[in-house]
Structure formats: C-alpha cells, structure tokens
Structure 1
Amino acid sequence: MISQIGINERRVIDLLRQRGAMSRASIARDMDLGAPTLTKITQTLTSLGILRELHKVRDGYPGKPAQLVAIHPDGAYSAGISLQSEYLSVCVVDLSGGVKGTITRPLDYPEPKFIGELSAQLLRQLLTECQIPADRFLGAGICMPGLALSALGSGLPSEPPHLLPDEFHAWKNIELEPFFSTLLGVPVWFENSAKAATLADAYFGAGQSLRHFASIHIAFGLGGGLILNRQLYRGAFGRAGEFGGAFPYEGTRASGRDLLLFLKEHMENPPTHIRELYERKIPANLIQQWVDRVVDGLADMSATLMAALDLEAIIFNGLLPTEILSVLAQAMRIRLPRLIFSGFGMPEILVSKLAQSGLEIGAASLPIHFVLSANAS
C-alpha cells in the first residue's frame, strides 16, 4: 500500500521532488545506497505507480545510456481545504501539485456546522468530477489561521478552548480532528494557514529547489514559516515562524488588516474585505505609501533571521494580490542590504507564484508530506 512505504522510499521521493528526473545511478550516489538496494526501492515505487520511467540519457557514467525516473503525477492525489474568514476553498491535486479541480465559496461567517457539511459536499463533488481512484487518494489537509492549528500540525495536544482568531470564536470549543474526520470520511491532517502556504512553496512553488528559506505570509494577519534543511521547522511548541508575534496587533504591521485600515483613512470608498483588493483598482501611490509604512519592520526582522539562520531566500505569500506583494518585495530588496552586515549573504527576495491558491494547495500538500516524505515532522 502507498501509505506503508519505507523511509528510503520516502527519501527517494523527496530527492526527485527537489531535483527532478534522475538516473538510478545518480540517485544511488546522492543517497549513498548500493545499486541493488536502489533498484529494489525504485521497483517498489514504480509498481505502486509513484514513479515512472522516462527517456534515456548519458549521465556521465560509462556504459549504456541511463534510464531516467521521475515522480508520476498521477501516482497519488490529495485534497486541500482552506477555511479563512472570508471564504472556503477545496481543491484536489496530484503529486506534482497540479490542480485537478477547485471550488471556492465566499463566506459571510465561518459557522462550524455549515462549514463542515459544505466541505464534505465540495470534496465529494471534486472527487467525482475529477474521477480520483479511491486507492490513490491519500486524504485531506485542512488549514485555518490560529496557533491551535500550529500545535495540531506539530502533533502536540490542542484541547478546547483553542487559540484561534476572534473571527473563529465559534470554533474554539470544537474538537477539530473528530469533527472533520467524521464529516469527510477520509484521513485528515491539520496545519496553520501560514505554515500550509510555506509547505506549498516548498513542495510546488518558489522554494522547491531551496533547502533553507523563510516565508512571510500576509493575510488578514501576519504569519510565516521556516524551512530548514528541507524540513518545516516548528520549534519546541509548534510556533516557529509566527512572525506576527514580533509586531503589536494594534500597531503598524504588514497585515491585510493594517492595509484595509490604511486605505480606509485615505480613500472615499475603501475596500472592507481582502477579497475586494482583487476587484478594486487601488491607486498605486497608496500601495507604495503603505509599503513604505510597513517595510522597515519586516526588513529589521529579516536581517535578524539572516544573522541567525543564514537563509537562501525569503518568500512572500498570502492573500494579498501578487501586485501588492511584488511592491513590498521590491522595497525589501532595497532596504534589507543596508541592514545585513558585511560578509553575510543577501537572501533572494521572492514572491510566491501560487498566490492565494497557495493556501488550499498547501493544505493539499499535508497528506503528501505526512504519507510520502521522509521530512515529515
């Protein structure tokens, strides 16, 4: 069964996910495995449909051209459910992160009973429409904002009342795992929204080829995540990367809430929800003024991260439109070099190409992460 593969099989999957198609000889060399052992591993994964053989190439070793192997996108599938204060989104992805189908519904209020039943309905609809084989479906990942989800993702106990944002107060006394697993009828995994978006970039986005990076996640609030040596670093209590904790909630901070409040002060008819930022034309000068207002705090924090962790990159993701994140990233490219000491490396400043869809794709990466990765934590 796919769910019962061993640690070396998972290591092969991780390597191919990061590097792309490789010859068996190259895999054996990089993993320090003997050829017979590696052959057995790839045979197992190929028979399960997780790997597939591609064309032959010269790979620098003597003898005949080498057969390349790669992850088979249709080897397995997973679902992602992103519950945010303004919307519910459900998607199904393959092993390459390709979205087979997605459905999004706007919300006025995330009422638990309604959300649970709607999630189950949308998941059943997608599995049917996308014709997902039951024996290749790993389960569903669920992401929501809140420290309680960070604890659940870390395997730590999170007993009611949960630490959740105020807009999720109706969820604070619900046992999340039995609530969703009963309604959905499939295995479920949980994660904080910001860390789910971090995993999405690590698996399928801007961080796919990186070993060490931080993500700065800007939604209604401010959060983030850390990937160190290709593993999601959680810290002692599952709260690593909760960058919003470095900035007072009522103070100036790079958050959707702060942006909406800023626009309320400077526009006659301002947007009142983050989703309206996609629908409205926000004057470029106001976006630049807001970026100038918040970038120094992010640059100071990022300089500290670089001194402590020596990162390759910092990736912006979240619910804000890519156009706004790009302006913020450019301001960081200008500010941050002034704060980093001589001799320290300058990280690449990137904007996630997954944008808003990174949340449900990140949630969908959870079953893949916990079932098929040696880096599961």
Structure 2
Amino acid sequence: MTKVELSTSERLVLEIIRRTQISTRIELAKKLGFSTVQATKLTKGLIEKKLVVENATPSGVRGQPTKNISLNPDGLYAVGVSFSAEYMEIGLVNWLGAIKKHETVKLENAHSLDTLCHSIEAFVESAIKEYRLAKRKLCGIGISLPGDFLKGRRKINAVYFPEMEDIDLLETFSSRLPYPIFIENDATSASWGEFVAGAGRKLNHFLFIHIGHGIGGGLIIDRRVYRGANGNAGAFGAPFPDLSKARPSGTDLLKHLQASGEKVNDFADLRSLSIEGCSPLKTWIHNASQQLIGPLTVLARAFDPDAVVIGGRLPMHVLASLVKGVNTDAFCQADRHRLPVPDILVTELGDLGGVVGAASLCLENSVFADRAI
C-alpha cells in the first residue's frame, strides 16, 4: 500500500483547513507566516493530490471571486473497528469522520483472532470494490479495544476479552491484516470520534464519559487527545472498583435487566426497550445518573472543560435519559452559583463513536500535523 507522502508544511495546511473547515490562500499564509506565493504553491500541490478542493465564491465586490479551500471528502479513508460482547462493528470512514459503509458482525468461535481478522479483511475488500476505492486512499485500520493498556500500549488488561490477554496487539493484528494498523482503547477512540464528527467538534476541551462494558472515558485538551503515561487517561470508572456492586456500567445494566427477567445479552438488545415501558431500565438509569453526579463534579472542577459528553455502547435513548438525570442542580452543586458549569451533552455518534474515532485516529497518525495552530 502506498503511504501518503506529505511535507510538514502540507500537513500544517491540512490541519488549518480542518480546523477552520473553509479557508483561503491569504488566510493560510497569515496563519503559517508564509507568503501568499508559498501558500498558493502548497495549495496547488494538495489540489493535485486530490486532498483539497478549491471553489470560487462571489465576494459581492468587483474583481476576482474569493477562492475557498476545503478538504476533499473523498481524499482519504480509514477503517474503524470496535467490539461489544457479541458483536463487532466495522466502518469505512472518510477523513471528515463520515461513515460511508458500516457492518455489524456477530462474533463466533470465542472471538478467535483469525476469525476477527478474516471478517475485517473481507469488509475492507468489499468496501474497496463497492466504492471503487484506490488502495492508496486507504490509510489503514484503526482497532478500538475494550480494556486498559499495559506499559508500552502494546498489550491490554483484557477483562472482557480474555483471548486478547498477554499478546502484542499491534504485532498480532499487523501479521494478519495487510494494512497499516493502529490500536487504541474504546473510550479514547469514541472521544476522538466525538471531536471529529460529533458533539465535541466545536469544543476545544471536553471530557468524554464512555459507558461500555465498564466505565471509561477520554480527555480532549486543546483539541488533542490526552492519553497519559500508559494510554489509560480517562479511566473514570475508578470510583466504582467493585464489579459485584451496582455501578453505572453497561455490564451492570445488562445484569440488572437479566435479574429482572429481561432477555438481553448485549447492548443491541437494549434498543427495543422503552424506558417508560421497562421499569428496571428506568430504575437503573436513575441510580446510574445519581452515581455519576459526584465523580463528574470532581472531574469538571479538576479539568474545567467546555463540556462533559456522555456516550458509549448504550442506545441513544438510554444515554439521553442518563444525561438528563445527571444534568441537574446537583451537578457542581457547591459552587454552581459562583463558577461556570460545563455543559452536559449526549453523544451525537452513539455506539458508532468508537468506529469513527478508531478510523480517525488512524488518519491522524498519517496525515495531520501534530501541533496546535
């Protein structure tokens, strides 16, 4: 596969265009400290590579129309993969964060890695054929895994996926798939997906709370992922260490509903449940929101974000109700009359945030400038 060859200056131009969404050569020159001639040369090069497009817009005055530059939606792609207990979600995502093709795969053979990789490769080949996608446009595969990284971010503490315990994840997936591989945990992936194409796309700083098998999260600080020393920043489930006790996690919700007689085995089974029509679900949402208020208050005051976004693997209607339960006067109660209170927002990507984020982080590594503009 041909790697995207970009100069540092080209990466900076792409970063500026991404942040502003639409720019002009003059604006690019000002932000970069380049001459207009240099900015024009860089822009023409990116147009030739079909990474940006330039459209003339009437300025309302005499003279040449304004030429606006934006990212070409068809410029680059990546594939994102995320997991739940019984399903694997795979998506072809363009570099603007839009899912072009999506597939849900039922997991069989006790999550055999060979079977997983075969399904991923089959999806990729199908997507390439369906969209007549040049392989040079596919930057790689981002794999979002539930679990906490061990030192070096090559292994995870695989509580929910024991078959991935004590293996070198990057080496394992890279040896089975003929594409560049990027590994991330599910909560960080979902937080970045929310930044690229969801509720956080206009925010500079936000906390993402990921309700999946456990309780995780991600931190976006100055429009960048903050991972911490080992890649585990955002382990917001720390206040709820006892897995045998009630906690605001997806696994706890499934256990609670099963104990109440509901036939649910995975998060997809929750989509058909009405909150008003399912008393155990309504009770869990109330209790979980009350459990979250205290820890989220501490996080809000510790990080001073623009917002707290709540998402993860639960269905949208459940997450929206959970947000409503948290977003009360009890949140930041002690000083909300004196200090700004961050917004509490619900995800806009739902359970596909991990797919979008994993693919987008894969693109991030290969395309955009690693510097704040």
TM norm structure 1: 0.89
Partner Cα separation in structure 2 for residue 164 and residue 177 of structure 1: 15
Partner Cα separation in structure 1 for residue 104 and residue 235 of structure 2: 26
Partner Cα separation in structure 1 for residue 63 and residue 360 of structure 2: 39
Partner Cα separation in structure 1 for residue 56 and residue 122 of structure 2: 41
Q: Identify the match of residue 154 of structure 2 among 131, 155, 158.
A: 158
Post-superposition Cα deviations, 1:47-106, rounded to whole Å, max 9, x if no partner, equal 21111012325499x974421000000111111122332211221122222222122112
1:117 to 1:344, Cα distance in 2 relative to 1, 3 A: same
Show the counterpart of 1:291: 285
Partner Cα separation in structure 2 for residue 209 and residue 341 of structure 1: 23
CA drift of 1:13 comes to 2.1
CA drift of 1:321 comes to 0.6
Alignment of 1:122-137 (within 5 A): 122-137=123-138
Is residue 221 of structure 1 aligned with residue 221 of structure 2?
A: no
Partner Cα separation in structure 2 for residue 208 and residue 103 of structure 1: 25
Is residue 351 of structure 1 aligned with residue 346 of structure 2?
A: yes
Q: Identify the match of residue 306 of structure 1 among 300, 303, 317.
A: 300
1:340 to 1:234, Cα distance in 2 relative to 1, 3 A: farther
Identity %: 28
Q: Is the 8 A contact 1:303 1:340 kept in 2?
A: no
CA drift of 1:8 comes to 3.2
Partner Cα separation in structure 1 for residue 267 and residue 36 of structure 2: 53
Is residue 194 of structure 1 aligned with residue 190 of structure 2?
A: no
1:158 is matched by which residue type in structure 2?
Answer: R
Show the counterpart of 2:232: 239
Partner Cα separation in structure 2 for residue 7 and residue 299 of structure 1: 43
Worse-matched range after superposition: 200-209 or 94-103: 94-103
Q: Is the 8 A contact 2:208 2:217 kept in 1?
A: yes
CA drift of 1:255 comes to 0.9
SS of aligned partner of 1:315: strand
2:326 is matched by which residue type in structure 1?
Answer: M
Worse-matched range after superposition: 359-368 or 29-38: 29-38
Partner Cα separation in structure 1 for residue 55 and residue 335 of structure 2: 45
How many residue pairs align between the two structures? Answer: 367
Worse-matched range after superposition: 123-132 or 50-59: 50-59
Partner Cα separation in structure 1 for residue 20 and residue 60 of structure 2: 14
1:128 is matched by which residue type in structure 2?
Answer: K
Partner Cα separation in structure 1 for residue 232 and residue 292 of structure 2: 18
1:263 to 1:21, Cα distance in 2 relative to 1, 3 A: same
1:367 is matched by which residue type in structure 2?
Answer: C
Is residue 360 of structure 1 aligned with residue 355 of structure 2?
A: yes
TM norm structure 2: 0.90
Partner Cα separation in structure 1 for residue 136 and residue 363 of structure 2: 14
Post-superposition Cα deviations, 1:210-260, rounded to whole Å, max 9, x if no partner, equal 110111111121111000001000112221111112322423322111212
Alignment of 1:246-285 (within 5 A): 246-250=239-243, 251-265=245-259, 267-282=260-275, 283=277, 285=279
1:44 to 1:356, Cα distance in 2 relative to 1, 3 A: same
Partner Cα separation in structure 1 for residue 67 and residue 124 of structure 2: 38
Q: Is the 8 A contact 1:231 1:376 kept in 2?
A: no
